[in-house]
Amino acid sequence: MNNFSRLLHLLTQELSAQEKLLELLSKERAAIVGLDQAAIEGFGKDKGALLEEAAKREAARSEVISSLTELCEDKDDLKLSDILEHCPSADLKKQLESIGTELKQTAATVRHMNVHNADLVRYSLGFISSTLAIMHSAPTSEPTTYGQSGKTSDKKKKAASSGRLRTSV
């Protein structure tokens, strides 16, 4: 199997893993919204396993890419399209371009969803903390009231107004 075929195989595996991660993140979002702690922890472990597999694929892909970059003259800031210019098969080149585009889109969706899930967790924790703080706070004996000036007033110090306006100066 030549390096371009190996690259196609690795990118296909990576796309499959990204799609699994996307599905997992969707399930995780539902668990976060439902405040299902056990499910959230399970999804965290599953994400960890997927990320370990991704690291192995990344190492293999990096090895294939480094062997393919020897074909290119300018080795700085290489893109997949630069490497594919040297692909001997037009069909293989088309497949690599297609899988590369799909992989970029899926990876962007995964990043977006992961950030969104992290925000949901942060908001949920804030809501829970606020609720606990309210539940644990001791009620005050007298509620705080606000006067016309917008400042708090103490009912004990001031007498209630009769509601009449002063006409004398």
Q: Residues 108-146: pLDDT tens digits?
A: 999 999 899 889 888 888 877 888 888 887 666 666 777
Kindly write down the DSSP assignment for every residue of 31-85, as one continuous string: HHHTT-HHHHHHHHHHHHHHHHHHHHHHHHHHHHHHHHHTT-S--TT--HHHHHT
Residue 142, helix vs strand vs coil:
coil
Condensed to tens digits (0 to 9), the pLDDT of residues 25-70 reads 999 999 988 888 888 889 889 988 988 888 888 888 888 888 777 7
pLDDT tens digits, 74-117:
666 677 777 788 888 889 889 989 998 999 999 999 999 989 98
CB 32 within 8 A of CB 40: yes
Tell me the one-letter amino acid at 122. R
| Domains, in order of start, for the chain | 3-134 (1.20.58)
d(CA 147, CA 153): 6
